[in-house]
Amino acid sequence: MDTHHASEPALVPEPSGGASDAKVRVAVVFGGRSGEHPVSCATAAGVLRAIDRERYDVLPVGITRAGEWVLVPDDPTLLEGGRAEITAADAQVLVPLGAAPGPLVVAAPGQVPRELGTVDVVLPLLHGPFGEDGTLQGLLEMAGVRYVGSGVLASAAAMDKHYMKVVLAGHGLPVGPYTVITPRLWRTDRARALDAVASLGFPVFVKPARAGSSLGITRVERAEDVEAAVEEAQRHDPKVVVEAGIPGREIECAVLQGRGDDAPRASVPGEVVLDAPAAGFYDYETKYLDTAPLTMSVPAELPAEVAERVRTLAGECFEALGCEGLARVDFFYTDRGEVVVNEVNTMPGFTPFSMYPLLWERSGLPYPELLDELITLALERPAGLR
Ligand SMILES: Nc1ncnc2c1ncn2[C@@H]1O[C@H](COP(=O)(O)OP(=O)(O)O)[C@@H](O)[C@H]1O
Ligand SMILES: [Mg+2]
């Protein structure tokens, strides 16, 4: 992570084009160090295409897999297709730390650093670790910059499938049975860990505690396959969560923070329908490769009282975790008619074709207006402790 302090070389201010002064300056930050790097780039492409250029000055900032921040051309075509990769180009972006928000700075080797001007709000379009998990949010808090979405605690708690369940269960919200395998438990008492898994019954879902996009997740049918699945999950996160398999439909609900003191707003629920999932669940390939048969059904065909229960629970999960801005809450609607929370995503997929924006579109808020709403919420929110 690059930081910049005021004592560094003299800066040449970027020429500011008169009319643009009234615009809100939005740094769109994407890419990043997680396995979801290309997904994040695709999301950024969607935002760059749709964001209202009359209202916003947009600064596209990519984060490489190594964690360097670089200024990226404002060209969505370079970021689409699911294979995009931010590379360390010559111009690095430096984030100033200090009490008052300072201008972002661009530094190219052998050149005098240039100021990019003060950013009014950061739109962090990062999924997974080092983006959606509170780390980036902490950096922005330290820099005194406003940003879209949840703060440090909610981001971190929602990212960790273990603590997310602890918080939700603590609020009486319905989560499924699970067990946690820490690296120490796995090393010192593997038999106990395996017993705890077996007592969940099969199938189980073995997951890295903090990943995303289904990376590192295995559906396990037999006790003898648990160890390999745990080791696979550990390649993504030393802490592993094992959950009882919950047979049912996958229902998702989009939540948007209320304005002022208003309660969170919940969209119509949607359903992810897998036609013939190869891995037997909603895995990475199904999520992001065009070949995989997947239908998003918006709104989900549900009995009215079930849809209402989903919307109520989604808002309660948002508040239980202390989310801000946006979140997508994912549920299982079981064969026995129960609604169980699977997870809360504080930076859900956000391309114009992703579930979160589609749910809002169907609920009367089209994509560009959804962006306006999120940026407005972030600007209304005080920086610092809140
Ligand atoms: N306990 C479970 N029971 C049944 N299916 C599950 C369970 N956990 C995960 N899945 C399947 O795996 C997919 C990915 O799991 P999820 O926890 O949502 O991970 P991610 O955070 O990577 O999206 C889900 O969408 C669902 O298809
Ligand atoms: Mg999921």
Q: What average pLDDT values come out for the chain (386 residues) when binned by 10 residues?
A: 40 45 89 86 94 95 92 91 82 72 69 77 90 92 92 97 98 98 98 98 97 85 98 96 97 97 97 74 67 82 98 98 98 96 95 94 96 96 73
Phi, psi of 342 (to 5 degrees): -90, -55
Q: Does domain 3-147 have CATH number 3.40.50.20?
A: yes
pLDDT of residue 33: 84
Amino acid identity, position 385? L
- Secondary structure E strands in 55-128: 56-63, 69-71, 92-96, 104-107, 114-117, 121-124
Assess contact for 39 and 47: CB atoms under 8 A. Answer: no
Nearest bound ligand to the CA of residue 283 = 1
Amino acid letter, residue 373: E
Residue type, 359: L
Give the pLDDT of residue 4.
Answer: 40
- Measured from the alpha carbon of residue 216, the closest ligand is 1
For residue 103, whether the previous peptide bond is cis, meaning omega lies within 30 degrees of 0, is no
Domain ranges of the chain: 3-147, 157-175+246-380, 178-244
* pLDDT at residue 99, as a whole number: 57
Whether residue 352 contacts residue 46, with contact meaning beta carbons closer than 8 Å, is answered with yes
Number of residues in the chain: 386
345 lines ligand 1 (CB under 6 A): no
133 lines ligand 1 (CB under 6 A): no
Task: Tell me how far the alpha carbon of residue 149 lies from the centroid of ligand 1, in angstroms.
Answer: 23
Topology of domain 157-175+246-380, per CATH? Answer: D-amino Acid Aminotransferase; Chain A, domain 1 (3.30.470)
pLDDT of residue 5: 40
Whether 353 contacts 343, CB under 8 Å: no
- Which residues, including other chains, have CB under 8 Å from residue 111's CB and lie 6 or more apart? none
Tell me the CA distances in angstroms from 153 to 77, 119, 138, one per residue in order. Answer: 34, 23, 9
For the domain spanning 178-244, the CATH number is: 3.30.1490.20
| Ligand 1 probe mutation, 164, 282, 329, 341, most atoms within 8 A of CB | 282
